Amino acid sequence: MGNCFGFEKPSATPTVNGSTSSGLFTSKTNSSTTTNTTNSDARFSRSIGSSVGQDSITGEVDPNGTILETPNLRIFTFAELKNATKNFKPDTILGEGGFGRVFKGWVDEKTLNPAKSGCGMVVAVKKLNPESMQGLEEWQSEVNFLGRLSHPNLVRLLGYCWEDKELLLVYEFMAKGSLENHLFRRGVFQPLSWNFRLRILIGAARGLAFLHTSEKQVIYRDFKASNILLDSNYNAKISDFGLAKNGPTGGDSHVTTRVMGTYGYAAPEYVATGHLYVKSDVYGFGVVLLEMMTGQRALDTSRPSGQHNLVDWAKPFLSDRRRLVRIMDARLEGQFPSKAAFQAGQLTSRCLASDPKGRPSMKEVAETLEQIEAIKGGKSSSKDAATAAAKPLPSPYSAAASAAASNAPRHQARGQAPPPGTPPQHRSPLHPRHDAARQAHPLPPRLR
């Protein structure tokens, strides 16, 4: 993975006491902030006259977004995070992804010092699983990108810990968890209404648009429902910058990289050639848009053959008003203006264009979604709440497929775990671990 925002890649591994000799943050430190230092020094970095103190870590976010010169992060010791999460107690587990488990923790709002459970501010602590295929590179990318990017639709990274082999990340807590859970964990989460879906999509689109239009275009590279987190008001924020890359420079149209990503979401040109365009993210957004419209996962081998890949199967339905109705999520119970659904279908088609040049910019996507949101009428939102009661209409998929999808296991979520023994899905022969197809990893040159 290349350098992010021009930071030096660490050239050395951390030492036992947690100090590092890497150049991770040395290239552009401003003021008297010292972030490349031992953990014990770093704990006091705020009190040594930093211009980017703790208040700006937890304070207001500029609605237009900002990019900081240097990451503005609290460096935690492992002991502090152990403390904050009740020694990583299983009952604090919020979920689990390719990097490792995510725990709920409590810290003091002002100092970010660990607090007693139930006191102070809630945070999410992501801890590297030593057996993970991910590791230092993804962790570094998260720190270097998310630590500097600030926008209402990006999850806030508050700090990190790097001690010996322990790599952890501390984020703002997103009370409603991931969009993936809301869309696909049927029976656990109430269906999202049409208006909530649009609102979430608009937020996520604005987040991506901010990345794409920033001075150094940032390509996110892993856009998917599990990486969109929702706060207590269902505001969407993008998380997980482990695969993010700076966009092309010097007039180039793309950057060439090793193909990484998630089955079902990665753009075809990228999978085929390793050429990554800003518009490759737009394709991923189109896949999520399609998931939102249909209530179906991007990839689901429990669906009837020919329907495993959602894009391949559903794309032909998008441009025909009458056929579109057949693929709309039954859990919406027809509670959406048909004109709005049709326009959303057309936008989805454009995002999923085979040629990246044919895809709209994320700014245009966000604006179009705002126009779609303004369309009222039809059977729109008599139940405009995410908690609308579920009474599904007949699904375009077989009853068996729908039942299997509704039980689809995901990383264990607190209080939301599927019944024990539920078979994992989307196993790939290349990545035969649980839920591998939905986790970010190197992709083979041919997906389909």
Ligand X SMILES: Nc1ncnc2c1ncn2[C@@H]1O[C@H](COP(=O)(O)OP(=O)(O)OP(=O)(O)O)[C@@H](O)[C@H]1O
227 scored as a contact of Mg ion (CB under 5 A): yes
Q: Of the two residues 50 and 227, which places its CB atom closer to ligand X in the complex?
A: 227
Determine which residue in the list 227, 294, 307, 309 makes contact with ligand X, applying CB under 6 A.
Answer: 227
Site for ligand X in 181-200 (CB under 6 A): 181
User: Which residues, at least 6 apart from 252, have a Cβ–Cβ distance to it below 8 Å?
Assistant: none
User: Taking contact as CB under 5 A, which single stretch among the options 7-15, 72-80, 139-147, 237-245 is the one that binds Mg ion?
Assistant: 237-245
| C-alpha distances out from residue 158 to 111, 136, 150, 170, 312, Å | 11, 18, 11, 5, 39
Determine which residue in the list 80, 240, 269, 329 makes contact with Mg ion, applying CB under 5 A.
Answer: 240
Distance in Å, CB of 435 to ligand X, minimum: 8
Q: Of the two residues 42 and 443, which places its CB atom closer to Mg ion in the complex?
A: 443
Distance in Å, CB of 102 to Mg ion, minimum: 9
Q: Of the two residues 173 and 194, which places its CB atom closer to ligand X in the complex?
A: 173
- Set 55, 91, 164, 222: catalytic member: 222
* Residues 439, 411: Cα–Cα separation, whole Å: 10
Q: Three-state secondary structure along the chain?
A: CCCCCCCCCCCCCCCCCCCCCCCCCHHHCCCCCCCCCCHHHHCCHHHHCCCCCHHHHHCCCCCCCEECCCCCCEECCHHHHHHHCCCCCHHHEEEECCCEEEEEEEECCCCCCECCCCCCEEEEEEEECCCCCCCHHHHHHHHHHHCCEECCCECCEEEEEEECCEEEEEEECCCCCEHHHHHHCECCECCCCHHHHHHHHHHHHHHHHHHHHCCCCEECCCCCHHHEEECCCCCEEECCCCCCEECCCCCCCCEECCCEECCCCCCHHHHHHCEECHHHHHHHHHHHHHHHHHCCCCECCCCCCCCCEHHHHHHHHCCCHHHHHHHCCHHHCCCCCHHHHHHHHHHHHHHCCCCHHHCCCHHHHHHHHHHHHHCCCCCCCCCCCCCCCCCCCCCCCCHHHHHHHHCCCCCCCCCCCCCCCCCCCCCCCCCCCCCHHHCCEECCCCCC
- In the list Mg ion, ligand X, none, the entry touching 329 (Cβ below 5 to 8 angstroms by class) is none
Distance in Å, CB of 95 to ligand X, minimum: 2
243 scored as a contact of ligand X (CB under 6 A): no
Q: Of the two residues 99 and 194, which places its CB atom closer to ligand X in the complex?
A: 99
| C-alpha distances out from residue 373 to 20, 197, 247, 414, Å | 49, 10, 30, 32
Q: Of the two residues 172 and 240, which places its CB atom closer to Mg ion in the complex?
A: 240
Determine which residue in the list 14, 71, 97, 264 makes contact with ligand X, applying CB under 6 A.
Answer: 97
Distance in Å, CB of 180 to Mg ion, minimum: 9
Edge-to-edge, what's the strand order for the sheet holding 100-107?
Answer: 74-75, 157-163, 166-172, 121-128, 100-107, 93-96
Q: How many chain residues interact with Mg ion (CB under 5 A)?
A: 3
425 scored as a contact of ligand X (CB under 6 A): no
229 scored as a contact of ligand X (CB under 6 A): yes
Distance in Å, CB of 46 to Mg ion, minimum: 28
Phi, psi of 334, deg, nearest 5: 70, 10
> Is 127 flagged in the annotation as binding?
yes
Distance in Å, CB of 249 to Mg ion, minimum: 27
Site for ligand X in 136-175 (CB under 6 A): 155, 171, 173-174
- In the list Mg ion, ligand X, none, the entry touching 102 (Cβ below 5 to 8 angstroms by class) is ligand X
Q: Of the two residues 37 and 153, which places its CB atom closer to ligand X in the complex?
A: 153
95 scored as a contact of ligand X (CB under 6 A): yes
Site string for Mg ion, 73-112 (x = CB under 5 A): ------------------------x---------------
Q: Are 266 and 309 in contact (CB under 8 A)?
A: no
Distance in Å, CB of 96 to ligand X, minimum: 6
Determine which residue in the list 81, 124, 183, 330 makes contact with ligand X, applying CB under 6 A.
Answer: 124
439 scored as a contact of ligand X (CB under 6 A): yes
User: Taking contact as CB under 6 A, which single stretch among the options 59-67, 177-185, 198-206, 312-320 is the one that binds ligand X?
Assistant: 177-185
Establish whether 222 is a catalytic residue. Answer: yes
Q: Of the two residues 200 and 328, which places its CB atom closer to Mg ion in the complex?
A: 200
By Cβ distance, which residue is nearest to ligand X? 97
Looking at the DSSP bridge assignments, the partners of residue 171 are 124, 157
- Give catalytic residues, as residue numbers: 222
Binding-site ranges for ligand X (CB under 6 A): 94-99, 102, 124, 126, 155, 171, 173-174, 177-178, 181, 226-227, 229, 239-240, 411, 413, 439-440
> Which residues line the annotated binding site?
127
> Which residues line the annotated binding site for ATP?
127
Binding-site ranges for Mg ion (CB under 5 A): 97, 227, 240
